[in-house]
A and B are shown apart, each in its own frame.
Chain A
Amino acid sequence: MLGYIIRRILFAIPIAIGVSIVCFSLVYLAPGDPLQTVLPPDATAETIAIVKHAYGFDRPIPVQYAIWLWHVVQGDFGRSIATQRPVTLEVFGSVANTAMLGLFSVPISFALGFGMGAVAGCFPGRMIDRIVTGAAVIGVSLPNYWLGLVLVILFAVEYMILPASGMGQTGSANFNLFHWSDAQFLVLPVVTLTMIPIGIIARTTRAAVAEVRSQDFVTTLRAMGLGEGAVIRHVLKNASPQVLAVMGLQFGYLMGGSILVETVFTWPGSGFLLNKAIINRDIPVLQGTILALSLIFVATNLVVDLLQALFDPRIRRS
């Protein structure tokens, strides 16, 4: 197991480096000069040369990348062009706000999705299976930004029982999770976020459970006289590696893909920050946010792989 852990961690390092290269090259994807936003339109060639030198843009691109990476490793992403605050601070605060949504949406969607899928997989073709499968298809087909709007129309505009957007009067700094006046702002974004993961996880779990149930060892277990409960326990354990892989992807989606939902609810999280950075053409913030979120995603995949190996000895040996 230890050997597997070390191999898997070593495998993640080149991926992390590759991710940093992609984030770095985002500057060069932008049309025009990366300095366009900093320089006045009537800048002379001389000024441009000076600013270029100050930002290090006159050096070869690999050298620029090395310098950028060196700063990033030390936790320095530079300063935001729009606010002049250090990017690290901005990213940290926003990721924390996104994590607060994740704190609720991850356990809710994982538990509901897995439970629904497991029940449906145990009774394939029955009424309960059809209901779950139908609900799951609706879940994965819902545009969540639209669902967010519909929930706002229902609960904030028509019935006025929940707030439509933001994080409350006190803002993100004094957000009190245990006080309803603040916590109520979480309800609609969390419900909106959970729909797609519930659908995807339920579908995967149902397929995995149904497939494992048709394997020969289940017949053997029954023939050995095991009760239905014990059989289901074996089935779920064997289905779990597949489900875990999808849960890992969905965790990444909840941390990194919430940009649409955060925009609908103006929730000051990482997606919202990303959207702001794009509108302001604030490349350092753009790079910093994407790098932070994708590194979280790489780390999640690492954890998922290790968990899978824990559940399934066959993976360890391969």
Chain B
Amino acid sequence: MSEQAILPVDAAPEVEVEGAPATRVRSYWQSVLYRLRHDWITMVFGAIVLAIILIAIAAPLIAPFDPYQQSIIGRLKPFGWRGHPWGTDELGRDMMSRLIYGGRISLLMGLAPVLVATIIGGALGVIGGFAGRIVNTAIMRTMDVFYAFPSVLLAVAISGAMGGGVFTGIISLSLVFIPAMCRIAETATAQIKILDYIEAARASGAGTLTIVRHHVLGNVLGPVFIYASSLVSVSILLASGLSFLGLGVQPPEPDWGLMLSTLRQSLYVDPLGCAMPGVAIFVTSICFNLVSDGVRSAMDVRE
């Protein structure tokens, strides 16, 4: 089947056929946006993601209490106790405020590694894919070695050896994501590189840098962006997992994974409160997942 046959009627392809009746022509990105706007599942969950991010940013304005304020008499209190809407944690701190503040570090640790890995892994992949030969072998074989570790194991090993902390957590998760990102970028670049128009550009005197900037990057960006968006939810899960193991965020800093780990001690006393931070991780992760699915199908012309 040709691409045109599957495209929605109104999302006309970029190519303007000579002599065809003048229709509204959308660029690729306009048609992606068009499809996204009409995908209500993605729009709804995208709005929730936006809300979660805004709540985390505006935490000091929204949180009803100080997230560090402890109270010896008010430990593990139920919902609504003395104005604490979601009760208190094992040190008497307000649960709602801690969950709101917790989003800040949890989201940071989820998003930062994906960003770092996209930039470094993407750059390495484009260099490897375009340069070919020895450079490609050197980069891709090194990536193969890191690919040979199960992702959780590599993250835990690196942050464990480096002694934990938010910064080491971000570094170790970035290292986990770089190889896969590099492979995606390398495959896309290698596919583009052999096409005729690259040859034509070279023949007309364009330098390597110009070719990469004008002809390669635009084509690599799509697959890389799709993959990066699917990594965000994985990254949030792994980052919270590191904090859960005590390798990420350190107490008394509020973070969802760490809260889950410290509340675990009170499992038998306050099972509901103990499950709350997990709900936050789960909701965030599922929203990012669904948005990423929507973006993927909007950007994938074949679907």
Let me know if B177 is at the binding interface, CB within 8 A. Answer: no
Closest CB of chain B to A189's CB: distance in Å? Answer: 15
User: Is A194 part of the binding interface, using a Cβ–Cβ cutoff of 8 Å?
Assistant: no
Stretch from A85-93, A146-154, A222-230 forming part of the interface with B:
A146-154
Q: Contacts of A16 on B, CB cut-off 8 Å?
A: 148
Residues of B within 8 A of A30 (CB): 161-163
Contacts A146-B278, A157-B267, A157-B268; is A290 near B241 (CB within 8 Å)?
no
Residue pair B282, A263 in contact (C-beta under 8 Å)? no
Contact mask B264-303 → A, CB, 8 Å, 1/0? 1001100100110110011001100110010000000000
Please tell me if the beta carbons of A143 and B271 are within 8 angstroms of each other in the complex. Answer: no
- The answer to whether B290 touches A15 (Cβ under 8 A) is no
Q: List 10 A-B contacts (CB under 8 A).
A: A30-B161, A145-B244, A147-B278, A152-B267, A253-B150, A256-B150, A257-B152, A260-B152, A274-B153, A297-B153
CA distance A15 to B147 in the complex (A): 9
A286 interface hit (Cβ, 8 Å): yes
Q: Pick the contact of A263: B157, B245, B285 (CB < 8 A).
A: B245
Contacts of B260 in A (CB 8 A): 145-146, 149
Complex interface: chain B residues within 8 A of A277 (CB): 160
Q: Does A172 contact B (CB under 8 A)?
A: no
A interface majority secondary structure: helix
For the complex, is B149 an interface residue (Cβ under 8 Å from A)? yes
A163 within 8 A of B: no
Interface size class of B (residues with CB under 8 A): 35 or more
**Cβ contacts B121-162/A at 8 Å (1 or 0 each):** 000000000000000000001101110111111001110111
Interchain nearest-CB distance for A185 vs B (Å): 17
A residues less than 8 Å from B229 (CB atoms):
none
Pairwise interchain contact B150-A293, C-beta atoms closer than 8 A:
yes
Q: Which of A1-48 contact B (CB under 8 A)?
A: 14-16, 18-19, 21-22, 26-27, 29-31
Q: B42 near A: Cβ within 8 Å?
A: no
Q: Given that A29-B162, A286-B157 are contacting pairs, would A278 and B247 also be in contact in the complex, using a CB cutoff of 8 Å?
A: yes
The size of the chain A interface, using a CB distance under 8 A, is 49
Q: Is the CB of A140 within 8 A of B289?
A: yes
B139 CB, nearest partner CB in chain A, Å: 13
Residue pair A141, B148 in contact (C-beta under 8 Å): no
* Cβ of B237 under 8 Å from chain A: yes
Counting CB contacts under 8 A, is A259 at the interface?
Answer: yes
* Contacts A141-B289, A149-B264 given; does A297 touch B151 at CB 8 Å: no
Cβ-neighbour of B278 out of A21, A143, A297 (below 8 A) = A143
